Amino acid sequence: MMNPSPAPPAAAPHAELALAERAREGDLEAFNALVDLHQRGVYNLCLRMLGSRMPAEDATQEAFLSAYRGIRSFKGEHFRGWLMRIAANACTDELRRRSRRPALSLDTPPPGTEDPVEVPDAAAGPEALALRGEEHERVQAALLRLPADQRLAVIMCDMQGFAYEEIASAMRTSIGTVKSRIARGRDKLRRELAAAREHLGGGNRP
Amino acid sequence: MSLRDETVIKLLAFFRRNAHADIDTLSAQADGSLDVARATAIEAHLASCAACARRLEELRAVRSALAAMPAAEAPRSFRLRQSDVEAAARRSADGGAGQVLRLMPVMSAAAVVLFGVLVGVDVLSGRDGSSGLSRTSAGAPAAAERAKDTLANAPVPQTAAADQAPAAPAPAPSGGAPGVEPAQTAAGGTFPATPASGSATASSAEAAPTRPTSAAYRDTSAGARGTDGGPGGLRIAEAVVAAVAVGAGAIAVSGWKKSKVV
């Protein structure tokens, strides 16, 4: 199965730890090497958690700033998981900021200011592209309706390919809880997507 | 017969007896994380249960749909510049106000806890003859309204409850905030009637109010020992305020805890 946000080209864990160690001593260049490795993953996590680009970009920036400033709290477990947890918190902060300003609410982006998250796929024809785009929008919308903890667990597991252990360490909870969050999240998505398919299933689909 | 075979047989029997597989099992089967014994058992169940088979199929479809979501490229480099870091440091340094704001719930919770403890200690060490009403308000605020009526006739049941209280001070914190609401209304409190603590199960949120609550309980036992029917008016006010304080602390702490996902 294809994995759309693959882990960074396996920077050996000890290389990462060495960079983190140097960053901890205030070496910004070492930290930026970690940024290079992880910015795509962090940005995509924020994008899927928040559902649109500008907030995801802000949250990503905030996440790296917080990570650098809080690097002393990194105790040498999974760096990627540690970073993702900070990113998830940055997303929560962003969500809270936005819920204070209803005009920028997640569900109804003001027309023209936010484009739905879609990534061009050169290999597909225009029609297939449009259909696929609709499906992606449905999935993204359904994701946004999940409770934040389930959303995070599902995104990390099924979109970013994290192992249960890493998710548990990032969410500071047990593997059992992670599995259960994932199960409930998937089940809710299943119901929503099945309902949508039934609703659209009037024969206008290939 | 090996242990594993036995497990399989037990699980098979389980799935035959039970109409459907639970979502955790199906979800784990969908991503292949079930161990062999359980996977075998669930396969056997699926062979005879179309509903579960369909649900599993749909769960797999969800996984594929999620995996097929395209990953975006980072829209720009997020490398930090020295100036970003310094700006952020300045923001949080002279944004001391922001820091204070963020710590506000913690500080108010701490103040409230301290106040509750002080009131408890005051009552404990001080005068005896707390009235039955004071006991109820502190120990079981939810019952305060009801107790006012009961009290006129028979304060006895509350005394019994109070006797048990010091041994088991646990029940109050968990029911803390929701229970406190009537007391808030009684005191004319303006605290938002957030059902926060009810839903927030953060353990530390509940840990905080424990002390004043048990202090309040000690108060109740002191009251129970005292002769009945003291002046009570001041004591009632203190107890109600303490109960409100505990509730407010619980709400503040849980509101603060809840603000983080993970």
Top-ranked range on mean pLDDT: pick from A38-42, A103-107, B5-9, B112-116: A38-42
How far B19 CA sits from the closest chain A CA (Å)? 18
Task: For residue B26, give the chain A residue with the closest CA.
Answer: A183
Listed in sequence order, the residues at least 6 apart from B144 whose beta carbon sits closer than 8 Å to its beta carbon are B133, B136, B137, B182, B183, B186, B240, B243
pLDDT band at B228 (very low <50, low <70, confident <90, very high): very low
The pLDDT tens digits for B110-138 are 888 888 888 788 777 765 544 444 444 44
Q: Sketch out chain A's domains with CATH numbers.
A: 13-117 (1.10.1740.10), 124-206 (1.10.10.10)
On whether the CB atoms of residues B185 and B148 are closer than 8 A, the answer is: no
Q: Which of residues 18-37 of A touch B (CB under 8 A)?
A: 28, 31-32, 35-36
pLDDT at A123 exceeding the cut of 70: no
pLDDT at B231: 52
Residue B28 confidence (pLDDT): 96
Q: What is the pLDDT of residue A9?
A: 47
- Tell which wins on pLDDT, A123 or B52: B52
- Chain A: closest CA distance from residue B8 (Å): 22
* Residues B105, B232: Cα–Cα separation, whole Å: 32
Higher pLDDT, A41 or B235: A41
**Chain B CB within 8 Å of residue A158 CB:** yes
- Of the two residues B35 and B107, the one the predictor is more confident about is B35
pLDDT of residue B203: 42
Position B18 pLDDT exceeds 90: no
**Inter-chain touch B62–A68, beta carbons under 8 Å:** no
Residue type, position A59, single letter: A
**Residues A49-63: pLDDT tens digits?**
999 999 999 999 999
Beta-carbon contacts of residue B70 (< 8 Å; ≥ 6 apart): A4, A118, A119, A121, A136
ipTM of the complex: 0.80
At B60 the pLDDT is 96
> What single-letter amino acid sits at A166?
E
A196 close to B (CB below 8 A): no
Assess whether pLDDT exceeds 90 at residue A83. Answer: yes
Which pLDDT band, with edges at 50, 70 and 90, does A95 fall under?
A: confident
CB contact under 8 A, A159 and B67: yes
Q: Which residue has the higher pLDDT, A184 or A205?
A: A184
Q: Which residue has the higher pLDDT, B70 or A200?
A: B70
pLDDT tens across B171-217, in order?
444 434 444 444 443 443 344 433 434 343 434 444 444 444 444 44
Does any CB of chain B come closer than 8 Å to the CB of residue A42?
A: yes
Domain positions in chain B: 3-67, 104-258
Please determine, for residue A91, whether its predicted confidence score (pLDDT) is greater than 50: yes
State what percent of residues in chain B have pLDDT above 70. 45
Number of Cβ within 10 Å of residue B88's Cβ equals 17
The structure tokens listed for A139 are 């999935």
Predicted local distance difference test score (pLDDT) of residue A60: 97
Can you tell me the mean pLDDT for B84-105? Answer: 72
* Mean pLDDT (whole number) for B25-29: 95
Q: What does pTM read for this prediction?
A: 0.58
Looking at this protein, which amino acid is placed at residue B100? V
Which of chain B's residues have a Cβ under 8 Å away from the Cβ of A158? 31, 62-63, 66-67
Closest Cα partner for B261 from A40, A205, A183, A155?
A155
Closest residue of chain B to A176, computed from CA coordinates: B24
Compare B226 and A154 and report the one with higher pLDDT. A154
Of the given ranges (A70-74, A169-173, B84-88), which has the lowest mean pLDDT? B84-88
The stretches of A5-154 forming alpha helices (DSSP H) are 13-24, 28-50, 53-69, 79-100, 126-144, 148-154
Q: Are B108 and B252 in contact (CB under 8 A)?
A: yes
Name residues 54-83 of chain A within 8 A of B (Cβ): 57, 60-61, 64-65, 68-69
Cross-strand pairs, A52:
A116
